[in-house]
Amino acid sequence: MASASKSTAEHKNNVDEMTILQGEIFERLERSEAANAGKFEKIFAALDILIDQTPSKHHRGAEYHHHRVPFQVRNVKLEFPRFDGTNVHEWIFRAEQFFEYYDTPDLDRLTIAAVHLDKDVVPWYQMMQRSHPFQSWIDFTRAIELDFGPSIYDCPRATLFKLAQTGTVAEYFVQFTSLANRVYGLSNDALVDCFISGLN
């Protein structure tokens, strides 16, 4: 009988020890889960920040004000074009090629363009910035086209159709190409016909 009660007592002690051990294991698991949950939250937060800061072609504009990533420098160095008030469409095209190559954020585009302005364009830019600061590259290019581009009454399509060679073929080709780049909706065949009809 004494041996049975001793065995029951040992069994009870073993059960108690196992219950305590099981409780400790559960506590450790809960602490481990809490620690892992905290780590996962930090990882997800870091991923969200990385995703927000990753530049994309469709992500230009106001979003860059909050998470600006400096544009990357590549092996080929491109010179940013200067603008003195002439050939505005050509300058905008070249500037946009530069910005595309370096994946330049919108806010940086304005700064880069501003330091590459010359002659009468500098006081124009200063006046515009004082009265109506540019909010985006698009705003800037619209304003600069209005003030330094061809007259709004100038119709590039009509001018293209009336264009005739007065100098060399090379000079005519340059004039023709410049106008053709501003005309939309003409087929290649129509452009070729138009070019040929203007030759002497």
In the chain, DSSP finds a helix count (H) and a strand count (E) of 8, 0
Give ∠ CA 80-84-87 in degrees, rounded to 5.
85
Q: Specify the 3-state DSSP secondary structure of 149.
A: coil
**Would you say residue 62 lies in a domain?**
no
Q: Are residues 47 and 12 in the same domain?
A: yes
Indicate the DSSP class of residue 94.
H
111 and 139 housed in the same domain: yes
Q: Contact 110/137 with Cβ under 8 angstroms?
A: yes
Residues 133 and 156 in one domain: no
Q: Are residues 145 and 158 in the same domain?
A: no
Contact 160, 194 (CB under 8 A): yes
Q: How far apart are CA 91 and CA 161, in angstroms?
A: 24
At residue 126, the pLDDT reads 96
* Under 8 Å between Cβ of 116 and 81: yes
Range of the domain at 165: 152-200
Long-range CB contacts (within 8 A, 24+) of 80-84: 80/112, 80/113, 80/116, 81/116, 82/116, 82/117, 82/118, 83/113, 83/116, 83/117, 83/118, 83/121, 83/144, 84/117, 84/118, 84/119, 84/120, 84/121
pLDDT tens, position by position, for the chain (200 residues)?
566 666 787 777 777 888 888 888 878 878 878 777 777 777 777 766 766 665 544 444 444 444 555 555 557 788 999 999 999 999 999 999 999 999 999 989 999 999 999 999 999 999 999 999 999 999 999 999 889 988 767 788 888 899 999 999 999 998 888 888 888 788 889 899 999 999 98
Do 38 and 17 have their domain in common?
A: yes
- What does the pLDDT read at residue 3? 66
Are residues 121 and 89 in contact, defined by beta-carbon separation less than 8 angstroms? no
Same domain, 181 and 118: no
Q: What is the pLDDT of residue 62?
A: 45
CA atoms of 80 and 113, how far apart (whole Å) = 8
Residue 73 lies in a domain: no
Residue 69 falls within a domain, yes or no?
no
Structural domain total, the chain: 3
Nearest to 73 by CA among 116, 118, 113, 108: 108
What is the spatial distance between Cα 168 and Cα 8, in angstroms, rounded to a whole number?
116
Same-domain pairing of 163 and 119? no
- Is 71 within a domain? no
Does residue 174 lie within any of the structural domains? Answer: yes
66 assigned to some structural domain: no
Q: Say yes or no: 127 and 158 in one domain.
A: no
**In the prediction, which pLDDT does 23 show?**
82
Residue 140 lies in a domain: yes
Does any domain span residue 137? yes
Residues 142 and 161 in one domain: no
> Alpha helix locations (H) across 61-168?
88-102, 106-114, 121-131, 137-148, 156-162
